[in-house]
Structure 1
Amino acid sequence: MTVVQIFVLCLLVIGLPIGLWAMRWLWLLMQSEQRLAAGTAAIDTRGADELPTQRSWLGWWLFQAGFRKPNAVALFLMATVLSTLLAVLFAYAIYQSQVITVLEMVLRAIPGNVGEVFLPIAWLSPVAAIFVLAALPAVIVRGRRRKRITAIEQDLPLTLDLLATLAEAGLSFDAALDRVLETQRQQRPLTQDFRLFRLEILTGRGRVDALQRLNRYVNVPWFGIFISALIHAEQVGSGLAATLRAQADDLRGRRRERALAMAMAVPVKLLFPLITCFLPGIMIASLGPIIFQIVQVLDQFTRSAFGG
């Protein structure tokens, strides 16, 4: 047996028990998620597919990323298992083909045995592909979560300004929120979370409890400060309009400071592409002719000194 066949055999022997254990763990997690979802009644039939019930950490992670269907956890686990199996088959196909052998021959053909340093990387590249493809569903969910946070941070200042203006005009927080939600697009993440908050208020949940749950749904630092201020105003009975206006001004100042910090960080971020991309070309263009002339002078000197 060749080294590649032995390595593939070891991979299958070690990976089969690990895969079975992982499938068993995923199955138990799916069962616990279903039991938690079945143990809690639906809050409202209009939003039964979106209102969160008791969830595991994976269910909350998917919920905060925007995957809010009841079968989101099951679909995510199925996608993870499927991508893992496809990754294992892809790695096995690479090992069975001649790609690794050809790459090994190319690396060994490099003069000075320099290519032998990269041989372990060539041998382990299919294993790395397994981990990358297996983590693809988690990467997609993480990217979706980042986009959702960005959209919430973009919509929050305008929403706070509108709420503060309507509160100063004499409307209550619920009436002002209803007016704001009527003007916002339903696909925006902040609008969806506020609608969940309104559904929970309509079902009889306490305002402070609903605000705390809303903060957990969004899980954004700037939004958490706003929710803390609302809870404090609700508990001490302070004016809502003044609280909203102060939060709007504070958030506007935070965005300004963040924009200034990002602008000041641009020169530092430009150092890496400048050093790796532009500086070598500048050095070659400026010092290349000088080095070429020095090499020519040294070549003529050596020929004149040792030629005779």
Structure 2
Amino acid sequence: MDNLNTLILIAAGCVAIALPLLAFAFTARPGVARQQTLRNLNRGIRASAAVDGPELTGGGLIALARSLTPIAAIRWLDTLLSRAGRPAAWPLERVIVAKLVLTASGIGAGFLLAATSPGPRMFVLAIASATIAWATPELLLYSRGQERRQKIQEQLPDSMDQLTIAVEAGLGFEAALAHVARQTTGPLSEELIRTLQDIQVGRPRQVAYADLAERTQVQDLGRFVRAINQAETNGISIARVLSTQSREMRIKRRQRAEEKAMQIPVKVIFPLILFILPVLFIVVLGPAVINMIAAFS
């Protein structure tokens, strides 16, 4: 009985500590100086395109979360944030604090479950709840990154057509990139703006293009970046490379559409077997079965 009361008190303490930490995680902001620096760096572009580095700044709670989170986990979270477009409302500090708070809440809920109904099953459930709470930020960021990657994949062929037209009209490659970024909206435009900013602050063009492919994780965009870098290295006409890449991307888009169309019959089979065919059997064979039961009874 004493052990049960102790577990309940520990779980209640974890929940009591986690609730104010969760409130802080949703309301805290980076330092005033850092906010001003970010506003200066990102002046003239949308807030969702802001660049947030992996350095952690803040008060004692952020320092505590930083000390309890492994370095590899922080780097992985920073990578996921980069692929998710670095949402302005969720800087790296807030994600790390939220991860700590969710884990504490999961552990507290697990202790409560184990205390109310002791047993191996509840112990496993407590561990599972803590694990799910620990992995929730990564899952959300990964899902956001996948959605963003899909949007970039859909926007890429049309943007490539605009880029080809701009270069063939006489603009330089970087000027054409800036033109496409201004005339379009969405994650691809934000990534192009960031790449141009990297070039403007002195980053080598090939490195900036390679970082673009690394951030987006889109195969077609990575293939395009490699073709552009090889064209600049070997002195090949950029307009010819763009025309070839644009044609290939249109062909790949049509192939992806045909592939999805071919997958529809396979995906329809399972709902058809599980939900539609049983209802048809009941409607068609139900009266006959009822008559047979009445006749033999």
TM-score by length of 1: 0.68
**Counterpart of 1:50?**
51
- After superposition, the Cα gap between the structure-2 partners of 1:123 and 1:200, relative to the gap in structure 1 and judged at 3 Å, is closer
**Counterpart of 1:61?**
80
Pick which of 223-232 and 43-52 moved more: 43-52
**Counterpart of 2:261?**
263
Code of the aligned partner of 2:41 = R
Secondary structure of 2:170's partner? coil
Contact 1:51/1:196 (<8 A) preserved: no
How far off is 1:191 after superposition? 1.2
**Counterpart of 1:86?**
105
* Aligned counterparts, 1:86-105, within 5 A: 86-94=105-113
How far off is 1:125 after superposition? 5.4
Distance 2:94 2:235 in 1: 45
Encode CA deviations 1:165-210: one digit per residue, 9 max, x unaligned: 011111110111122222123xx21111111111121122222122
- After superposition, the Cα gap between the structure-2 partners of 1:165 and 1:72, relative to the gap in structure 1 and judged at 3 Å, is same
- After superposition, the Cα gap between the structure-2 partners of 1:274 and 1:149, relative to the gap in structure 1 and judged at 3 Å, is same
Distance 2:254 2:280 in 1: 37
How far off is 1:138 after superposition? 2.1
Residue 294 of structure 1, aligned match among 277, 281, 292: 292
> Structure 2 unaligned runs (5+)?
15-36, 44-49, 56-73
How far off is 1:91 after superposition? 3.9
How far off is 1:223 after superposition? 0.9
**Counterpart of 1:208?**
206
* Aligned counterparts, 1:36-47, within 5 A: 46-47=41-42
How far off is 1:296 after superposition? 2.5
Contact 1:88/1:130 (<8 A) preserved: yes
**Counterpart of 1:283?**
281
How far off is 1:288 after superposition? 2.1
Code of the aligned partner of 2:200 = L
**Counterpart of 2:146?**
146
- After superposition, the Cα gap between the structure-2 partners of 1:95 and 1:44, relative to the gap in structure 1 and judged at 3 Å, is closer
* Aligned counterparts, 1:90-129, within 5 A: 90-94=109-113, 128-129=128-129
Distance 1:198 1:290 in 2: 73
How far off is 1:45 after superposition? 5.5
Tell which structure's C-alpha radius of gyration is larger: 1
Encode CA deviations 1:16-62: one digit per residue, 9 max, x unaligned: 9xxxxxxxxxxxxxxxxxxxxxxxxx999614951657983331222
How far off is 1:236 after superposition? 0.8
How far off is 1:298 after superposition? 3.2
Distance 2:229 2:196 in 1: 16
**Counterpart of 2:245?**
247
Distance 1:53 1:70 in 2: 16
Distance 2:278 2:255 in 1: 35
Secondary structure of 1:50's partner? coil
**Counterpart of 1:163?**
163
Distance 2:286 2:181 in 1: 64
Encode CA deviations 1:58-104: one digit per residue, 9 max, x unaligned: 3122211122669833322211221122233334445666xx79xxx
- After superposition, the Cα gap between the structure-2 partners of 1:295 and 1:121, relative to the gap in structure 1 and judged at 3 Å, is farther
Distance 1:285 1:162 in 2: 56
- After superposition, the Cα gap between the structure-2 partners of 1:142 and 1:57, relative to the gap in structure 1 and judged at 3 Å, is closer
**Counterpart of 1:77?**
96
Distance 2:150 2:205 in 1: 26
Secondary structure of 2:241's partner? helix
TM-score by length of 2: 0.71
Aligned length: 247
Distance 1:203 1:215 in 2: 19
Distance 2:163 2:90 in 1: 35
Distance 1:242 1:52 in 2: 37
> Structure 1 unaligned runs (5+)?
17-41, 102-118, 300-308
Same amino acid, percent of matched pairs: 27
